[in-house]
Chain A
Amino acid sequence: MSNELIEFVLVSIALLGIGIYGLAVKRNAIRMLFAVEIIVNAANLNLVAFARFMPHSGGQTLALFSIAIAAAEVAVGLALIIVAYRMYKNVDIADFRSLKG
């Protein structure tokens, strides 16, 4: 193993930071979904990296389940965006005000 654990963890932290930036700044619902995907991938990368350095198959198994759950989450998220787009003719989350109740 030529690369150390810390390098993968640092890349994962960078991805997490970029994702948080996207969630904080962007108001486009599709872009916010991109940011969520980037954060989920940072988490999965962490799982697999730690699993490699503490050899146990559990980490990879959890990462596989996490990927499957993320697929379900994206399907529902995109469906919600399409419904909201059909109602408001826009993807700007500031327009989705009537969701406040």
Chain B
Amino acid sequence: MTNGAPDMADALFLAISVLTIGSAIAALEMRSLVYGSIALMGTLGGVAGFYVMLDSPFVAMFQLAVYVGSIAVLILFTVMLVKRELIFKKIEDPKRKFAGIGLMLITILALGAIILDSGVKTITTDSDPVDFREIGGDFLTYYWPALILMAFILAGSVMGALVLARREDTIENEQ
């Protein structure tokens, strides 16, 4: 980071971090679950922006397709299946709220102090980013068993989700 005049990358980084962290808080604190899930989309999109800044366009594209594209829509549909008054009802323990805030501050401060004290601060790089063609090549040569296993896991979990969420009383209702 250059000291002195704020350059373009710093301003962009600051904007994306404010978007990411702000909408993460909004996703948890907004009264309506619908707006909460839209704010969660903001967080996921902000993380995709970080991936672009980290010269990883492949992961950013994957993040946009999987998270912002499918998971956020899946969550929105689940929220729509829930009763109207539950969407707007805030369910939380007031007593645990302060404990939660304390836990959050302890986590952030302790981990932040450890990280700032470690050698991570001095790590910089001048090397070129990893080419995404290399990742695609890795997937098809070295990681192909893992890729196939992943396909089976995804298919199995989607089937499991469908079996779980299936209504068993539909046939009885129709008769």
Contact B27 A76 (CB under 8 A): no
Residues in B whose Cβ lies below 8 Å from that of A70: 66-67, 71
Contact A28 B33 (CB under 8 A): yes
Contact B10 A2 (CB under 8 A): yes
Min CB–CB distance A12 → chain B (angstroms)? 9
Contact A31 B24 (CB under 8 A): no
Residues in A whose Cβ lies below 8 Å from that of B58: 60, 64
Q: Does B171 contact A (CB under 8 A)?
A: no
Q: Could you say which of B43, B79, B154 contacts A68, with CB atoms under 8 Å apart?
A: B154
Q: Which chain A residues in 17-32 approach chain B with CB under 8 Å?
A: 17-22, 24-28, 30-31
Footprint of B on A, CB under 8 Å? 1-11, 13-22, 24-28, 30-31, 33-35, 37-38, 41, 44-45, 48-49, 51-57, 60-61, 63-65, 67-76, 78-83, 85-86, 89-92
Q: Which chain B residues in 116-175 approach chain A with CB under 8 Å?
A: 116, 120-121, 123-130, 134-135, 138-139, 143, 146, 150, 153-154, 157-158, 160-162, 164-165, 167
Number of A-B contacts (CB under 8 A): 241
Bound form: Cα–Cα A95–B59 in Å: 39
Q: Could you say which of A8, A34, A60 contacts B40, with CB atoms under 8 Å apart?
A: A34
Contact B134 A10 (CB under 8 A): no
Min CB–CB distance A80 → chain B (angstroms)? 6
Q: Which residue of B lies closest to A95 (CB)?
A: B91
Instruction: Contacts A52-B56, A60-B56, A85-B81 given; indicate if A92 touches B150 (C-beta within 8 A).
Output: no
Residues in B whose Cβ lies below 8 Å from that of A44: 47, 59, 63
Contact A30 B75 (CB under 8 A): yes
